[in-house]
Amino acid sequence: MREQSDPLSAAFAALADPTRRAMLAKLCEGEATVNEIAAPFDLSLPAISKHLKVLEGAGLVSRGRNAQYRPCRLEAGPLKEVADWVERYRRFWEGSLDRLDDYLKGIQQKETPK
């Protein structure tokens, strides 16, 4: 049996699908019903429903109840966890930029000696 996944893993897994990322982007505009969310996609409604369930399971979406509608809203908490996690690696992608900067500075100094 598989180990149940921690919140951060669930968030990353939920974000690993472009359909789900597009759904989150749509929810940036505000609450939306399942049909509104489904509209841009060439997918059956049950497929959309499953994607929403994944997002909900990762805590990225919450849902209300309004008549027969189940309005979805963005919940950004897990995104903060993702941002915090990835932030610890910033120096590794900025480091190379720094080295590039140094390199360019060196070139510049050589080419425009004072």
Partner DNA sequence: TGGTTAATTAACTAGTTGGTTAAATACTGA
Partner DNA sequence: TCAGTATTTAACCAACTAGTTAATTAACCA
Q: How far is CA 4 from CA 10, 30, 36, 56, 57, in A?
A: 9, 31, 31, 16, 12
39 lines the binding site for DNA (CB under 7 A): no
CB 104 to DNA: min, Å? 20
Residues that bind its own copies (CB under 8 A): 5-6, 8-10, 12-13, 15-18, 21, 24, 28-31, 73-74, 76-77, 79-80, 82-83, 85-87, 89-90, 92-93, 95-96, 98, 101-102, 104-106
**Part in contact with DNA (CB under 7 A); list of ranges 13-21, 23-31, 83-91, 102-110:** 13-21
What CA–CA distance (Å, rounded) separates 61 from 24? 8
CB 90 to DNA: min, Å? 25
Selection from 9, 43, 4, 87 nearest residue 20 by Cα: 43
Residue 22 interacting entry, from DNA, its own copies, none, C-beta within 5 to 8 Å by type? none
For the chain, what is the radius of gyration of the CA atoms? 21
Selection from 29, 26, 10, 30 nearest residue 18 by Cα: 26
- Which residues touch 2 (CB under 8 Å, ≥6 apart)? none
Chain residues that interact with DNA, rule: CB under 7 A: 1-2, 13, 16-17, 19, 33-36, 42-54, 63, 65, 67-71
